[in-house]
Structure 1
Amino acid sequence: MSFLDHLEELRWHIIRSVVAVVLVAVVAFLCKDFIFSIIFAPKNGDFFIYRMFCEIGHWFKFESAFCTQELPFTIQSRTMAGQFSAHIWTSIWAGVIIAFPYILYQLWSFIAPGLYENERKLARGFILIASLLFFLGVLFGYYLITPLSVNFLGSYSVSPEVKNQIDIDSYISVVRSSVLSCGIVFELPIIIYFLTKLGVVTPVFMRKYRKHAVVVVLIIAAVITPPDVTSQIIVAIPIMILYEISIFISAYVLKKNKNKVT
């Protein structure tokens, strides 16, 4: 195929992906009450994650900031089209998240013709595992990172004179960034797999800089969670588990490549 033919092929893959996102977004738009009841759940003081952290606090014999019936902030819309705009964009992002496996399939369909036959056989496994990791990351972001961020930022106050009245776009932005960033972070094993295939990363390199990775993960956990050690450790543990899994994946790929050479 010529360069222009490749562009034409890519254009159709992009069009199919966009159509899938739009179709899901339309469904999400019609399910407004269901979608927004889920999105607004972390702003309620009785959200089950808060109750869980409250019980953990009681178990360790200290007073937890999560033991509250109502968070000290309200969500508001300060522009005429604010709520409608939030409805539209939330539906679109819901379409992107839910249609992610199909988008991944379209991306692979474009790349696959340029691969060897044995590499193409990995397509099904790649799409399934990558999609599973992404959705696990989305759930982790929504059920852990989002509540921790909302609780801390919504409760934070520099002065009793300043009341927290959060704009709806700001609130949804926190939820969206938490969910999508975790979805991407959970793709780490897949990324390491391909970087090892390309010879960019090795298990020796990852083991050598494991301590540095721990420090980075703890810093990230400290930034996105309230300032208590329990929350930071709970967030850091799954990310470090992913890192360790990535080391095993890198070692497996390297071993497999050496066996092919011999």
Structure 2
Amino acid sequence: MSDHSPQDELAGTEQPFVQHLIELRDRLVKATIAVLVAGAALAIYPGPAELYDLLAAPLVAQLPEGGHLIATSVISPFLVPLKILLMTAFLMALPVVLYQVWAFVAPGLYSHEKKLVLPLVVSSTVLFMVGVAFCYFFVFGQVFKFIQSFAPKSIMAAPDIEAYLGFVISMFIAFGLAFEVPIVVIVLARMGVVTVEKLKDFRSYFIVLAFIIAAIVTPPDVVSQLALAIPMCILYEIGIWAAQLFIKHTQAPDAE
């Protein structure tokens, strides 16, 4: 007969759980402080209004002479720049936020799992940023130029600042997620959901799927659809190539 009672078996389990909660709280506090510090720095320089001007620059550059954005709500001139400041602060603090997430989960991972997770976290962050930058520096200018070329001369363009912010955020998310295609391909292949050979066979179907997705999530213009679909196809090929390397270098010791 065993000398251990159920109470003995449960002894000590509460304390580690509480310690995990305390560590999670501390990590969340540090991540929040990083966002607040970035927000405070941006509030001082360049400032919320200047951040909005920077975000609106691709559209303003394509408006006819004298064209400008308007605010249809009384509090929009205050709320919209504030939203942009918070969004930018989060993006600036994202490396710190992700580091806190990594520091919280890393102790519970095996060495080969750390080799899998850390590169994916870093690369997915970089790819998302690249997608947003590609959208801002290239796509916006081409899309707004294309749209304005169809505007009748009798119409004075004066977009609403809240509507423009919603459009920008949706486009940033669309391009940021589209640039995550290699990560999705790598994870699916590494988890054994699909093989690399199946991914290669699916290539032609993915091209069609990419253009369908681009037609759904972007404005109804050829420029933005091509600007989203073509990079997705290229990144799919990169993902197939990277998946082969990733599988090779992140195997568990007993699987090698």
The alignment's TM-score, normalised by the length of structure 1, stands at 0.75
Paired positions, count = 238
Matched, 1:184 2:151: no
Within a 5 Å distance, the mapping from 1:191-202 to structure 2 comes to: 191-202=184-195
Task: Say yes or no: does 1:35 pair with 2:51.
Answer: yes
From 39, 47, 65, give the equivalent of 1:25. 39
RMSD (CA atoms):
3.2
Letter in 2 for 1:174: F
- Asked whether 1:93 is paired with 2:107, we answer no
Give yes or no for the alignment of 1:9 onto 2:23.
yes
User: CA offset at residue 233 of structure 1?
Assistant: 3.5
Match of 2:167 among 174, 179, 187: 174
Residues 52-71 of structure 1: pairs in structure 2 closer than 5 A: 70=64
Q: Shift of residue 162 of structure 1?
A: 7.7
How far is 1:139 from its partner? 0.6
Report percent identity of matched pairs: 29
The residue aligned with 1:62 is none
Q: Contact 1:29/1:88 (CA < 8 Å) preserved in 2?
A: no
Q: Is contact 1:196-1:253 (8 Å) kept? A: no
User: 1:197-241: per-residue Cα shift (whole Å, max 9, x none)?
Assistant: 32223322322322221112123334525634x664444222211
Residue 110 of structure 1: aligned partner: 104
The gaps in structure 2 that reach 5 residues or longer are: 1-14
Match of 1:75, SS state, is coil
Separation (CA, whole Å) in 2 of partners of 1:132 and 1:122: 16
TM-superposition CA deviations, 1:60-109 (whole Å, max 9, x none): xxxxxxxxx62896421122211110111100000111222222211111
* Structure showing greater Rg: 2
**Equivalent residue number for residue 247 of structure 1:** 240
Q: Which one of 123, 137, 142 corresponds to residue 143 of structure 1?
A: 137
Structure 1: unaligned runs, 5 residues or longer: 47-68
Q: Per the alignment, do residues 233 and 184 of structure 1 end up closer, same or farther by CA in structure 2, a change over 3 Å counting?
A: closer
Say whether 1:211 aligns with 2:204: yes
